[in-house]
Amino acid sequence: MKNLSTVFNLVLLVLVGVLFWLYFGLKKSSGGDSSSTNTSVSDNAGKDRLLRIAHVNVDTLNAKYQLMLDFKREVESSENSLQAEYQSKATTFQQQYTAYMQKKQAGALSQVDDEKLQRELQAKKDELDNFQTKRDNLVRQTDEHNAKILDIVRKYVADYNKKMHFDYILANAQSGTNILYSSDGLDITKDIVSGLNLQYKDSLQKVSAVKPQ
């Protein structure tokens, strides 16, 4: 059975490699600041203003967003558990099959016992084959949860931008983006990670508060 961590990493790469490219309309800027570019654009009234762009470092987001870290641990735990169970059953199956073949070759099995052991071995093989379905289900659940995390990040960034009024917020990473250079003055990663972690902490506290004592 393939190692699911590889699949998880690929899925996570899709998540963090997606460009947010959140376009919030060419809103009027309150004036130039350290987060504004020097690119001049025209608003609906035909007046020139600075195009305001910021970026989020998704490598840092992956490393410090607690929801993502907790989810990754859950996936790895489920993967390890599934892998260990599969390995245990596969070893048992191999041992039983070897013992069966030795008895069969030695002529030590009656027809009734032979048929019984064959049915038992087939049932165990079917159980092993079913692990692929379990793995596929885990991959599907990982995909779905990744999509939910990405949706949470997008919504938070959108809410964050209601106050900041950036025209574009880009996703920046060591790989997976087309950004070759970005100014530190345009980096809002710290604010985004801090806000997301606070939001996640609040959600955990609310869940804990409604659980029966």
Q: What does the radius of gyration of the chain's CA atoms come to, in whole angstroms?
A: 27
pLDDT value, residue 45: 53
pLDDT value, residue 19: 32
What counts of helices (H) and strands (E) characterise the chain? 5, 4
In a domain, 26, yes or no: yes
Domain of residue 66 covers: 18-88+126-201
| Mode of pairing for the β-strands spanning 22-23 and 36-42 | unpaired
In a domain, 110, yes or no: no
In a domain, 12, yes or no: no
Tens-digit pLDDT string for the chain (213 aa): 445 444 444 334 433 333 333 322 223 333 333 333 445 555 555 567 788 999 999 999 999 999 999 999 999 999 999 999 999 999 999 999 999 999 999 999 999 999 999 999 999 999 999 999 999 999 999 999 999 999 999 999 999 999 999 999 999 888 777 787 888 889 999 999 999 999 999 999 988 887 666
pLDDT value, residue 179: 80
pLDDT value, residue 213: 60
CATH code of the domain containing 29: 3.30.910.20
In a domain, 3, yes or no: no
pLDDT value, residue 69: 96
In a domain, 155, yes or no: yes
Going from the C-alpha of 178 to that of each of 17, 139, 174, 182, the distances in angstroms are 10, 28, 10, 11
Instruction: Please tell me the total count of domains within the chain.
Output: 1
pTM recorded for the entire structure: 0.71
In a domain, 108, yes or no: no
Going from the C-alpha of 151 to that of each of 52, 72, 147, 156, 191, the distances in angstroms are 23, 17, 6, 9, 18
In a domain, 185, yes or no: yes
Asked if residues 1 and 135 have their Cβ atoms less than 8 Å apart, the reply is yes
In a domain, 112, yes or no: no
